[in-house]
Structure 1
Amino acid sequence: MFKKGKKLQIILILSLVLTLVFSGCGKPAEPADQPEETPEKTNEEAAKDNESNGEPKYGGIFHSYLDSNFNTLDPAFATADRDGRMVALLYDSLIRYDTEGKIIPSLAKSWETPDDTTLIFHLVENAKFHNGNPFTAKDVKYSFERVLDPDVASPRTWVFEKVKGAKDFMEGKADIVEGIEVVDDYTVKITLEQPFAPFLSMLGMPAAHIVDKNEIEKYDNQKDYALNPVGTGPFKFVEFVADSKFDLEVNEDYFAGRPYMDGINYRIIKDASTSVAEFEAGNLDELEIPPADIDRFQNNADYAPYIVKKSTLWNYYIGLTSNKKPFDDIKVRKAFCHAIDREAILNTVLRNKSVLSNGPIPPGLDGYRDDLNPYPYDPEKAKELLAEAGYSKDNPCSFEFLYADSKSNVALIEPIQAMLNQVGFDVKLGSMEWNAYKAEVRAGKAQAFYLSWGADYPDAENYLYPLFHSSMSGGGGNETRYNNPEFDKTIEQAQATSDYDERIKLYQKAEDIVLADAPRLWVYLGINWTAYRPEVKDVKVYRIFNADKKLDMWLDR
């Protein structure tokens, strides 16, 4: 342990930073979280105060907001969280996810897997696009091939690249994808090049939502379709005005049953303090509570019964670029991890509003283990490792720590800088505008950086292959340039393993490999706190960001 005087110094720094993070009105980048001693509730328990003893009724407009404009409403290009949430309201996919992230039917009413590379989907026969056109198997084939079409240039080709013939199609060697076959109007057969166990779960991603060819081909430039969406989803597009509003109306003929609400009106409110004020004035039906306001809302009897706490799958981490000095040395990476008192950061800076993370696989996904703690806080061990790596007081381990510019990021990272400097690092902080920052990280120019990762689909593979496989370096997700042939072999074996229990064991083996190599220090898992108006009933809490189609919610007014 380090000397008492030094520990006091860091506590004082943490206290100073608290003043920074909770004095501003801007929305922090990090979601808030809960005290560790508070038992985790199920989604049903968390939402119980928004349930009604009365019968659900139809009618009413739900008033909500977005904290920025979305990028697109075209499934082929929807990569951001808010884009995916809007796509889920306007479109449908073959499968979708329930509140816990489990796979349930959607446009496919059932499916079968006669072997490890074949999936046969039996489609619903009563779904229609918002323009009245019937949904059939041909629309599935068109939508999936469109994502793979090089002329479309979707950033999500990897969702379907394991389908048989996808590579030839993308390279212009074939006019169709061999492995996507229309058996009849309501049956689709998909054949993979080789076994890939997570494929079914990936079919709930935004990119796998179904579009109508007739609507797409109205536009000379398919990107013009992005703000003229036509799907089969529970809500129809009405109007979008940038920096102002986004309105939806109910799909009366929705194949799974009409939603209760007549529509959803989103306002674009970029300032967090404005959204809080609008909610308190009764102009919004929901509010994602900023961290600085959580205690105030929890202690207010008018709001506390209507707060829903959602454990998300967003996992926040510090990346250490493994092919760049000084983090090309595993001893330096391990010293970094042992030097940071993550619990102190969470308990002080984040005010116990987050859950400690000890590995890439988050709770809620099969494969998660709650007994992991590979890098407990141990500053003396950190000093020893730095000394073994050739660093000393006269020769500190210097590097630059990059982060996206925001008050909340400063509040989190400055105490980390102080802890690192106490053990023999010499840390220089560098803040950048978000887009420039992300480009710098993806290009491999950052030595250390702070980011998060959320699930595209509910399978632990999504937290392993994209983040650590050598082929995913850079924009694929592996920004740390981590490269370990043993990991690559293990995760590839897991992907091809149909036996579920065996696959989970391989996921855990892969996780152990990357934890031992320390290319990332996992810091915390996010929890969102959302307050609703009392008249909003039957709120359901979904772990996957694009799973909520607002089918159960209704308004008691």
Structure 2
Amino acid sequence: MKKSTYVLSALFLSGALLLSACTEDNAAAPTTGQTAASENAPTAAAGGLTEPIKASALSKLPTAAKERTDTVIVGLTDPSGSFTPYFAQSGYDGNVTSLLFAPLVRVNKEGLPNADLAEKYEVSDDQLTYTFHLRPDSKFSDGSPLTADDVAFTWTLLHDKSYDGDFDITEAHVKGGEAYKEGKASSIEGIKVIDPQTISATLEKPNATALLLLGSDVLSKAYYGKDYKFGQLDYIKNLHSNPLGNGAYKLEKFIPGQEVRFAANEYYYKGKPKLEHFIYKTTDGDTWQFLETGEQDYASFPATTDNIEKLKNLGFVNLTPYTASNYGYLRLNFEHEAIQDKKVRQALTYGLDRQTIYVDSNQGAATVANIPTSPISWTYTEEGINPYQYDPEKANQLLDEAGWTMGADGIREKDGKPLTIHFIGSKKQATDIFIAVASENYKAIGVKFEPEQFADFNSQLAKLESGDYDMAAFSTSLMTDPADGVRDFVSGEISGYDNPEVKKLYEQGLATSDMEERKKIYHELYKVVNDDLPYIFTSNNKMVVATNGRLEGLVINPFWGISTSLPNWTLK
């Protein structure tokens, strides 16, 4: 439930994980209107692989992998080291915190909420009061008890006026939350600590995402709040590299650019994880090579025919297909005048051969995306959606209508300025494909395409935040609610973009918990966004996870990733 957490386009990160966080057991009975995966959504099959495949020849397992008995190693794009929940600098930091912290409520692989640190939760008939009953055995990784005071502190801190992270709890509209944020109250009226294991929050109006907003990670008041003063959160930065969590693992060591080491948390409420150690390996290199040599036990790849056959031939890996609950997109800079014109945005979309870039070049291991959700979402639809099939003639027509005339050098001009698109992306093979195709595509419609590539994600993100770009390739983090896919369009995250119709439909989608009503609203919202294009949507990727054949207990949760099942992983 974030305002925005950037992740490099998943198509560009074949070996990386996406933001993850939850488990599928201990399910609570959902309240009326809770969401589930759509029965009509396309299947989550990856390429031509529809069922998991077991390793056929474990005798081929590399020595390096055989020698590990209590440790699993997984590849991850370079995290920044900001390991306090709600303060992550990217989705990759979120991969780390998802192992260190457990939320009150999780989302299972069907998209339904489960009680987790909260033993159970209740929602009042008027959908305004949420009551959480904590597990009496919940502790932080130092053995200290986790109580309702810690939950109250977490909710309060997130309402602080100086909080500038990517989590927007104010969308829940907790009664008195705005007054606290504005400094008009010393506490938040709607938050009630009933007893050490029970806490409630009362909202000003119904909100379909409130359960997950309120049910997120819990911070220790004694640790993260000992220096807290209203309006002053800078101190918390000093704690990012030494987190105190309550999840399945605790941080053992972080070596920037190389690895993040974890040790099993003996105080984890479900019991100490079966694997004593876990490592996120962040060293740059060939993901395939790391898997083939046994240096890593887990890697994900686009589900191309070649990749699947190549992985099968290794013999010692298990294969699991999946489609994640995210989407790829090209972010546009609305501070630049040309981008503000919808006809230009539509022309850039019609003029880009997304089928070749994202589908054909990946042997069908993706589908072209045209709306801000995943095919596995219960809100997914193609009805009334413009597919923006590659059409340079249509693109040229729109640019003519927008007043961009072709210059003698083949570059369109308006008011003496050339139509230039400065693209920023990562140094990956798929980025090379994008640049090669986009350069030709945009040249054909009179757009000067200027690509710039970065060796690491953090450098690309810094460039984006400087504002020196027109177009940038990203993917969303995993989405647990349809609101997650459209929040950026109304939150102010896209500076310069403002569409009242999008805002109205977004609010309507939050105002009801009725699943069918929400579905209708989001279908209408998708039509508006598909026409207005605050992003150029690119792809929904089909992936295949390859794991060490000795690894047992892996369950892919398309909404949260590997941390749902990690505490149960074993090496046979």
Q: If the TM-score is normalised by the length of the shorter chain, which range does it land in?
A: 0.7 to 0.9
Distance 1:537 1:46 in 2: 16
Change (3 A) 1:209 1:335: same
The 3-state SS of whatever aligns with 1:416 is: helix
Q: Which amino acid aligns with 2:324?
A: T
Do 1:272 and 1:290's aligned partners in 2 also have CA atoms closer than 8 Å? no
Equivalence for 1:3:
none
State whether structure 2 residue 137 is matched by structure 1 residue 121: no
From 338, 353, 371, give the equivalent of 1:326.
338
Change (3 A) 1:456 1:150: farther
State whether structure 2 residue 376 is matched by structure 1 residue 364: yes
Equivalence for 1:509:
524
Change (3 A) 1:326 1:72: closer
Equivalence for 2:251:
237
Q: Which amino acid aligns with 1:403?
A: I
Do 1:249 and 1:262's aligned partners in 2 also have CA atoms closer than 8 Å? yes
From 285, 304, 322, give the equivalent of 1:272.
285
From 54, 62, 84, give the equivalent of 1:49.
54
Residues 455-480 of structure 1: per-residue CA shift (max 9 Å, x gap)? 464111111132x22xx33xx2x25x
The 3-state SS of whatever aligns with 1:195 is: coil
Change (3 A) 1:256 1:533: same
Change (3 A) 1:117 1:442: farther
Change (3 A) 1:523 1:244: closer
Residues 229-274 of structure 1: per-residue CA shift (max 9 Å, x gap)? 22221223333333444332223343224432222133432x222x
Once the two structures are superposed, the pairs formed by residues 83-94 of structure 1 within 5 Å of their partners are: 83-94=93-104
Q: Which amino acid aligns with 1:542?
A: N
Give the length in aligned residue pairs: 505
Shift of 1:530: 2.6
From 385, 389, 398, give the equivalent of 2:398.
385
Distance 1:217 1:396 in 2: 56
From 275, 295, 301, give the equivalent of 1:261.
275
Residues 471-515 of structure 1: per-residue CA shift (max 9 Å, x gap)? x33xx2x25x33222221121122222333212211111111121
Distance 2:426 2:378 in 1: 35
The 3-state SS of whatever aligns with 1:85 is: helix
Distance 1:199 1:316 in 2: 26
Do 1:202 and 1:457's aligned partners in 2 also have CA atoms closer than 8 Å? no
Shift of 1:541: 0.6
The 3-state SS of whatever aligns with 1:287 is: strand
Distance 1:263 1:131 in 2: 17
Distance 2:222 2:498 in 1: 45
Q: Which runs of 5+ in 1 are unaligned?
A: 1-26, 52-58
Distance 2:464 2:150 in 1: 38
Shift of 1:42: 8.8
Do 1:202 and 1:456's aligned partners in 2 also have CA atoms closer than 8 Å? no
Change (3 A) 1:230 1:358: same
Equivalence for 1:169:
180
- Which deviates further from its counterpart, 134-143 or 540-549? 540-549
Distance 1:316 1:184 in 2: 44
The 3-state SS of whatever aligns with 1:543 is: coil
Distance 2:288 2:46 in 1: 26
Change (3 A) 1:437 1:223: closer
Distance 2:355 2:278 in 1: 40
Equivalence for 1:12:
none
Change (3 A) 1:353 1:102: same
Distance 1:418 1:210 in 2: 50
Equivalence for 2:412:
396
Equivalence for 2:112:
102
Change (3 A) 1:193 1:413: farther
Equivalence for 1:337:
349
Do 1:32 and 1:354's aligned partners in 2 also have CA atoms closer than 8 Å? no
Equivalence for 1:6:
none
Distance 1:420 1:125 in 2: 60
The structure with more helix, counted as a fraction of residues: 1
Distance 2:269 2:277 in 1: 17
Do 2:353 and 2:437's aligned partners in 1 also have CA atoms closer than 8 Å? no
Do 2:404 and 2:412's aligned partners in 1 also have CA atoms closer than 8 Å? yes
- Which deviates further from its counterpart, 408-417 or 345-354? 345-354
Change (3 A) 1:323 1:156: closer
Shift of 1:546: 6.1
Equivalence for 1:428:
449
Distance 1:378 1:500 in 2: 36
State whether structure 2 residue 389 is matched by structure 1 residue 406: no
Change (3 A) 1:95 1:416: same
- Which deviates further from its counterpart, 485-494 or 293-302? 293-302
From 215, 237, 240, give the equivalent of 2:223.
215
Distance 1:65 1:320 in 2: 29
Equivalence for 1:526:
541
Residues 326-369 of structure 1: per-residue CA shift (max 9 Å, x gap)? 33333333222222222122344334332221211221222111
Change (3 A) 1:518 1:41: closer
State whether structure 2 residue 498 is matched by structure 1 residue 483: yes
Shift of 1:157: 5.3
Shift of 1:182: 0.6
- Which deviates further from its counterpart, 106-115 or 405-414? 405-414
Q: Which amino acid aligns with 2:376?
A: G
Change (3 A) 1:240 1:341: closer
Q: Which amino acid aligns with 2:54?
A: D
Change (3 A) 1:325 1:425: farther
Shift of 1:46: 4.6
Do 1:85 and 1:546's aligned partners in 2 also have CA atoms closer than 8 Å? no
Q: Kindly report the root-mean-square deviation, in angstroms, between the aligned alpha carbons of the 2 structures.
A: 3.4
Equivalence for 2:204:
193
Once the two structures are aligned, what percentage of the paired residues are identical? Answer: 25
**What TM-score do the two structures reach when normalised by structure 2?**
0.79
The 3-state SS of whatever aligns with 2:252 is: strand
From 495, 509, 527, give the equivalent of 2:510.
495
Equivalence for 1:29:
12
Q: Which amino acid aligns with 2:425?
A: A
Change (3 A) 1:210 1:102: same
Equivalence for 1:159:
169
Distance 2:370 2:316 in 1: 31
From 152, 155, 162, give the equivalent of 1:144.
155
Q: Which amino acid aligns with 2:424?
A: Y
Q: Which amino acid aligns with 2:555?
A: K
